[in-house]
């Protein structure tokens, strides 16, 4: 018989959104295996503009997944009081939601953020006698401390730390997108429920939806006859682009190497200003998600970076890396942390975060390789990704963890 899974997350991307699609992709894959999946999410998201609706909630079917959108306070900006108030409003809406119209869950999955959802999760487990899974997609409050600049003694940070530890202790199992989350959990509470990793993945829909770039975009933004080092994605504080741009300045005499930054974000104008004198750096507009692969496949080396942070001790699973590996190009990252799927696949290399000279030397190493050698590295990344990170496979892994007993579709 099939199982019913309730997945609760205030922040979830849906088909057509540019961010956060992992949750929906997993649920869609589970639904295709015959299970009944219900997603409870919010119409309030600082990265996605959601349409309004009448009443406190709206339910619809989207590609086999039942979706209940809860109306929550809208706000602007990730660092705002409005965001915190929106968390509480979402939890209140969820608490008050009439639940008789939904199938009884076999498992409730509470996915951060918001950490506050664990309280509704504990209530639902008691009410329905079901299994409770706590999913960690972003380690809070550690991210607030190490990357947001908050003090550990900040009352909000201290309160979130208490909620985090409660969630770890009281859940039946913990699932994280990062491969070394178990170490963090043990550091917080000692012996814990079992901890698993179900990372970001790849859907066949993403591959099938790929489209070519318009010729005028290519002509205006993709340099010819250059070794292209590309960063594609959001241009913001968390992307640590200073290291790459400082490296570009150090390599301005290497005229055959060009640094291409594709995307938009809060810091784009700032970086354009400080690089205005560099002929080996150019900025291109963001493209639709369906065209990202065409951008990446036109480049020789794909780059991402992170700041030095304790968060990375527990590993990373970034959508950007999925896109890069799918493109079949070698990957180079300024990253100091737990090994990732780039290491597992042999699809690229890392230099210490913030080390400009090490980055320069590694770029030149790739420049000196033959095209055949670089192609072999990129192909290894793509092949590994297609074998190990499809959402169909990840959904099966998730079901083995989430269900209280073997339930066949």
Range scoring the smallest mean pLDDT among 76-85, 186-195, 204-213, 253-262: 76-85
In this structure, the answer to whether residues 381 and 396 fall within a common structural domain is no
Residue 248 has pLDDT above 60, yes or no: yes
Over the stretch 271-306, which tens digit does the pLDDT of each residue have?
999 999 999 999 999 999 899 999 999 999 999 999
Asked if the structure places residue 408 within a domain, the reply is no
Average pLDDT, the chain: 94
In this structure, the answer to whether residues 196 and 214 fall within a common structural domain is no
Asked if the structure places residue 409 within a domain, the reply is no
pLDDT band at 409 (very low <50, low <70, confident <90, very high): very low
Over the stretch 104-163, which tens digit does the pLDDT of each residue have?
999 999 998 899 999 999 999 999 999 999 999 999 999 989 888 899 999 999 999 999
CA-based diameter of the chain, in Å? Answer: 68
Tokens describing residue 203: 């859907």
In this structure, the answer to whether residues 229 and 103 fall within a common structural domain is no
In this structure, the answer to whether residues 59 and 119 fall within a common structural domain is yes
* Phi, psi (deg, nearest 5) at residue 301: -145, 130
Give the Cα separation of 406 and 45 in Å (integer). 35
Q: Which residues contact 40 (CB under 8 A, 6 or more apart)?
A: 6, 7, 8, 9, 68, 70, 94, 97
Asked if the structure places residue 134 within a domain, the reply is yes
In this structure, the answer to whether residues 147 and 244 fall within a common structural domain is no
Into how many domains does the chain fold? 2
Asked if the structure places residue 110 within a domain, the reply is yes
Asked if the structure places residue 248 within a domain, the reply is yes
In this structure, the answer to whether residues 382 and 396 fall within a common structural domain is no
Asked if the structure places residue 407 within a domain, the reply is no
The pTM assigned to this predicted structure is 0.91
Give the Cα separation of 365 and 362 in Å (integer). 5
Rounded to a whole number of angstroms, the distance between the first and last alpha carbons of the chain is 6
* Domain CATH number, residue 234: 3.40.50.2000
In this structure, the answer to whether residues 280 and 191 fall within a common structural domain is no
pLDDT of amino acid 18: 65
pLDDT of amino acid 24: 95
Over the stretch 91-108, which tens digit does the pLDDT of each residue have?
999 999 999 999 999 999
Residue 322 has pLDDT above 60, yes or no: yes
Asked if the structure places residue 273 within a domain, the reply is yes
In this structure, the answer to whether residues 296 and 239 fall within a common structural domain is yes
What range does the domain containing 63 cover?
4-201+390-402
In this structure, the answer to whether residues 195 and 217 fall within a common structural domain is no
Asked if the structure places residue 335 within a domain, the reply is yes
Nearest to 73 by CA among 61, 64, 62, 84: 84
In this structure, the answer to whether residues 332 and 350 fall within a common structural domain is yes
Residue 79 has pLDDT above 90, yes or no: no
Over the stretch 358-378, which tens digit does the pLDDT of each residue have?
999 999 999 999 999 999 999
pLDDT band at 400 (very low <50, low <70, confident <90, very high): very high
Which run of H or E residues covers position 135?
Answer: strand 131-136
In this structure, the answer to whether residues 183 and 256 fall within a common structural domain is no
In this structure, the answer to whether residues 177 and 91 fall within a common structural domain is yes
pLDDT band at 48 (very low <50, low <70, confident <90, very high): confident
pLDDT of amino acid 91: 97
Q: Please state, in angstroms and as integers, the Cα–Cα distance from residue 323 to each residue in 66, 122, 303, 342, 380, following that order.
A: 28, 36, 11, 12, 14
pLDDT band at 238 (very low <50, low <70, confident <90, very high): confident
Residue 324 has pLDDT above 70, yes or no: yes
């Amino acid at each position: 018989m099939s199982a019913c899974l309730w997945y609760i997350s205030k922040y979830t991307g849906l088909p057509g959104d540019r961010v956060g699609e992992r949750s929906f992709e997993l649920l869609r894959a589970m639904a295709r295996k015959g299970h009944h999946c219900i997603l409870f999410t919010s119409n309030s998201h600082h990265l996605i503009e959601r349409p309004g609706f009448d009443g406190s909630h709206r339910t619809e079917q989207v590609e086999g997944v039942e979706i209940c959108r809860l109306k929550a306070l809208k706000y602007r900006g990730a660092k705002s009081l409005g965001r915190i108030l929106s968390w509480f409003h979402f939890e209140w809406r969820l608490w008050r939601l009439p639940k008789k119209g939904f199938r009884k869950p076999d498992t409730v999955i509470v996915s951060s953020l918001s950490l506050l959802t664990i309280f509704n999760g504990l209530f639902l487990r008691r009410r329905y006698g079901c299994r409770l899974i706590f999913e960690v997609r972003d380690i809070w409050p550690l991210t607030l401390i190490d990357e947001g600049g908050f003090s550990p003694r900040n009352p909000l940070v201290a309160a979130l730390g208490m909620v985090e530890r409660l969630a770890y202790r009281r859940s039946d199992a913990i699932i994280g997108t990062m491969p070394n989350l178990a170490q963090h959990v043990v550091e917080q509470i000692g012996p814990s429920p079992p901890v698993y990793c179900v990372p970001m993945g790849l859907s066949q829909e993403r591959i099938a939806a790929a489209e070519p770039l318009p010729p005028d975009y290519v002509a205006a933004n993709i340099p010819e006859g250059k070794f292209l080092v590309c960063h594609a994605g959001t241009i913001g504080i968390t992307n640590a682009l200073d290291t790459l741009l400082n490296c570009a300045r150090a390599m301005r005499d290497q005229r055959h190497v060009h640094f291409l930054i594709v995307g938009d974000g809060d810091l784009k104008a700032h970086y354009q200003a400080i690089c205005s004198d560099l002929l080996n750096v150019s900025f291109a507009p963001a493209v639709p998600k369906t065209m990202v692969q065409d951008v990446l496949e036109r480049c020789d080396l794909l780059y991402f970076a992170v700041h030095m942070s304790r968060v990375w001790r527990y590993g990373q699973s970034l959508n950007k890396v999925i896109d890069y590996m799918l493109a079949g190009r070698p990957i180079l990252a300024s990253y100091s942390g737990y090994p990732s799927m780039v290491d597992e696949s042999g699809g690229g290399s890392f230099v210490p975060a913030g080390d400009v000279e090490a980055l320069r030397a590694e770029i030149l190493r790739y420049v000196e390789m033959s095209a055949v050698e670089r192609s072999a590295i990129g192909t290894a990344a793509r092949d590994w990704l297609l074998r190990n990170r499809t959402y169909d496979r990840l959904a099966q892994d998730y079901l083995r963890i989430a269900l209280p007993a073997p339930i066949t579709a």
